[in-house]
Amino acid sequence: MLEFVIAVFFLLITPGPGVLTTAGIGAAYGYRSGYRFLMGLCLGGLITMMIVISGLAAIVLTVPALRLVLLFASVGYLVYLAWRIASADSVIGFKPAKTPLGFRNGLVLQFINPKAYVVGATLFSGFTFMPDTPVVEVVVKLLLFNAIWVPVHLIWLGAGGKLGSMNLNQRTGRVINIGMAISLLVVAFVALLSVR
**Is the per-residue pLDDT at 47 higher than 80?**
yes
Q: Which tops the pLDDT comparison, 54 or 193?
A: 54
What's the domain range around 129?
A: 2-193
Contacts of 58 (CB under 8 A, 6+ apart): 52
**pLDDT value of position 154:** 93
Contact 66, 60 (CB under 8 A): yes
Share of the chain above pLDDT 70, in %: 79
**pLDDT value of position 128:** 80
**CA–CA dist 81, 28 (Å, integer):** 20
What is the mean pLDDT of the segment spanning 3-17? 77
**Is the per-residue pLDDT at 51 higher than 70?**
yes
**CA–CA dist 117, 51 (Å, integer):** 9
Contact 4, 127 (CB under 8 A): yes
**pLDDT value of position 163:** 76
**pLDDT value of position 97:** 47
Number of other residues whose CB lies within 10 A of the CB of residue 51:
18
**pLDDT value of position 56:** 83
**Is the per-residue pLDDT at 27 higher than 80?**
no
What is the mean pLDDT of the segment spanning 49-56? 87
* Domains held by the chain: number: 1
Q: Is 63 exposed, middle or buried (0-12, 13-18, 19+ CB in 10 A)?
A: exposed
**pLDDT value of position 142:** 92
Nearest alpha-carbon partner for 68 in 124, 76, 109: 76
What is the mean pLDDT of the segment spanning 81-90? 66
